[in-house]
Amino acid sequence: MVLASGATSSPVVADPSRFPGKPGLLEVFGDGPLLVALLGAPGSGKTTWRRRWLPVVPAVNLDENRALLSPFRCESDQAVTAAALHMAYTQAGAVLASGRQVLWDATSTDRASRMALQVLAAEHGATTAAFVLLPPLEVCLERNGRRDATLCPCGFPRRVPEEFVVGSYADLAAVLPSLPSEGWDVVAFADQLVHETPAGTSTPVQHLGGGR
């Protein structure tokens, strides 16, 4: 699978038949708490994917939390990011403590963020899954470019700086082969779980392997 700029992945191949897809997508995990992290750069389609394929599963989203906490009700308000993240951990922890499934809808392309999720899941004895969204970089940039670049009243634009999109994309692409070793019970490409070809590609991508 070509990622970008000639980079390639060498993932462990897992059996796609483990996942029934679409309405039964998470049934393979059975009962008990489950934390599913959607990993992807800005513009990769994380929120769109989870709203389409897992609309009834409780989800934690940093943009939505920022909008709640910002005095300007603005999801781009970076001044409240720390508080939004604290809220997200509290929200996800509450869902896991009740024995249910929760989606973590945030970039999470840096290792520290992913390890924090592993700690959170371990505190509640939860199974963990990382669903990767990695369309071509050009797709992420084009989607981000459609976002408003005007400064909001909070002082930040809706559009993410291009260098952050490129950097987070590169970080995720580079770590793909080693993601299973981070402790995830399942690592897979989100689009292939629902038997779709990611935007901008001509062939399906492989599944990544399980973790521990």
* pLDDT at residue number 196: 62
Task: Lay out the sheet containing 101-105: strands in order across.
Answer: 59-61, 101-105, 34-39, 127-132, 186-189
- Predicted confidence band of residue 194 (pLDDT cuts 50, 70, 90): confident
In degrees and rounded to multiples of 5, residue 37 shows phi and psi of -100, 125
Q: Is the pLDDT of residue 6 over 70?
A: no
Average of per-residue pLDDT across 69-87: 97
Residue 14, phi then psi, degrees to nearest 5: -110, 160
Residue with tokens 């769109």: 48
pLDDT digits (tens, 9 = 90+) for 127-166: 999 999 999 999 999 999 999 999 999 999 999 999 999 9
* Residue 99 clears pLDDT 70, i.e. is over it: yes
Q: Which of 185, 25, 35, 188 has its CA nearest to residue 101?
A: 35
Q: Are the C-beta atoms of 61 and 105 separated by less than 8 Å?
A: yes
